[in-house]
Amino acid sequence: MEGESTPAAADGPLQGITVIDLSRALAGPHAAMMLGDLGARVIKVETPNGGDESRSWGTIVGPAENPESTYFLSCNRNKESVTADLKTTDGVELLTRLTQTADVLIENFRPGVMDRLGFSATRLHQLNPRLVVLSISGFGHDGPQGGRAGYDQIAQGEAGLMSLTGPDAETPLRVGTPIGDVLAGMYGAFGVVAALQGRERTGQGDIVRTSLLGAIVGVHAFHGTRYTVAGEVGHGTGNQHPAIAPYGLFHCADGALQVAVANDGLWRKFCDIVDLNADDPRFVNNAARFTHRDDLTTDIEQRLATNTRSHWLKLLDDAGIPCGQVRSLDQVYNDEQTRSQGLLLTVEHDALGEITIPGPPLRFQHNPRRAHTAPPQLGQHNTTVRTWLKDIDHVH
């Protein structure tokens, strides 16, 4: 492909690890991107006709003859792209060679697709006994719904998350980001790193499986034990915490702020600032405050309405009470604290030029990945990867 470039050699804790990314959309690509952020070489294998379907999703930018999707850009940094039709002899040969060479293979096809392509788990480990395979599905790889297709919002509903997110029990809401996909990718990447460590001990690869269902159930946190132990079914409580008060969003004279009063020491400090009676029997401890939360919210907002958000935020922050405002994304990305944490990267994209993209949330003091690359164009590294495989064959 014209403009083909070779990615900069990466350092980082996973330097020397090669990942084959057969996945598309978000869950698998996010897992592969996390491994790439850690220094692994990630080779994304895409269909020749259009590639990853997310290349056509969301806001499209760039020249008309070479458009790029901001959705695709969000989950494919630090990767190379090669094209292959896995139903052809050439595609099968390419994937076979990559499998024999790689440390990790990631796929998020519906259960059974890899088998039909001729790359079952058994076959993959025949080709490479040390291979770690990450397989992500919608609802699990077995069980009564093992073959069910899964997309994020469907899983958010089926796995209970929407029932916990709305303003009340009758108004479920989806989380504003595709959190099921991202969580499955995060759990998957965690599983891969664990399996790579296990391989150091056993010499054998492994099959790591997770699902959107499993990932969302995995973050139910106290809502899970609230049901399994106490028999209580949680529901949406809007912007108020379902177990702690006062903990949530409150309105001031010129907008809203958030405050988290998670213990009685903070409660007394909070009362001194907003002029409430800390010993009011209705609010004397968290159980009482939670029982009388509506009254408490009314009293707090009456006090906060007497001054501005900035006034209250300074007093609360000076007192060590966790607090904050609700920011829009432009405010977040232009905030100095965000930038100070390395959460923005400037990379050179072959079609778009210099662009800024969100960066990895992990930081390493001694061995970070220092050079990051832009998400690849479709087939950008066809020649690079195939030449690399030929060179390996010549060496052996």
**Fold exhibited by the domain 18-219+335-395:** Rossmann fold (3.40.50)
CA distance 215 to 207: 17
Question: Is 52 one of the annotated active-site residues of the chain?
Answer: no
Which residues on adjacent β-strands are paired with residue 259? 248, 323
Q: Which CATH superfamily is domain 247-327 in?
A: formyl-coa transferase, domain 3 (3.30.1540.10)
- pLDDT reported for residue 64: 87
The domain limits of the chain are 18-219+335-395, 247-327
Q: What are 317-354's pLDDT values in tens digits?
A: 999 999 999 999 999 999 999 999 999 999 999 999 99
Cβ atoms of 358 and 34 within 8 Å: the answer is no
Q: What is the pLDDT of residue 1?
A: 40
Residue 226 confidence (pLDDT): 96
Quickly count: other Cβ atoms within 10 Å of residue 83's Cβ.
20
The CA R_g of the chain, rounded to the nearest whole Å, is 25
Q: What is the pLDDT of residue 351?
A: 93
Determine which one of 181, 275, 280, 295 is catalytic. 181
CA nearest 74: which of 88, 61, 89, 84? 61
Tally of CB atoms within 10 A around 125: 17
Angle, helices 264-274/309-318, rounded to nearest 10 degrees:
140
Closest CA to 34 of 68, 74, 89, 66: 74
- Hey, how many other C-beta atoms are within 10 angstroms of the C-beta on 202? 10
Beta strands in the chain (DSSP E): 18-21, 41-46, 60-61, 68-69, 80-83, 104-107, 132-137, 206-211, 247-252, 255-260, 323-324, 344-349, 353-358
pLDDT of residue 2: 39
Q: What is the pLDDT of residue 6?
A: 46
> For residue 46, what are the β-bridge partners?
83
The pLDDT of residue 393 is 76
pLDDT (0 to 100) of residue 5:
46
Prior bond of 172 cis (ω within 30°): no
Whole-model pTM: value is 0.93
Q: What single letter denotes the amino acid at residue 228?
A: T
Segment-wise mean pLDDT, segments of 10 residues, the chain, 396 residues: 49 96 97 98 96 94 91 97 96 97 96 94 97 97 90 96 95 96 98 98 97 97 97 95 96 96 96 96 96 96 97 97 96 96 95 95 93 95 95 74
The Cα 171–Cα 153 span in angstroms is: 15
Q: What pLDDT shows up at residue 147?
A: 82
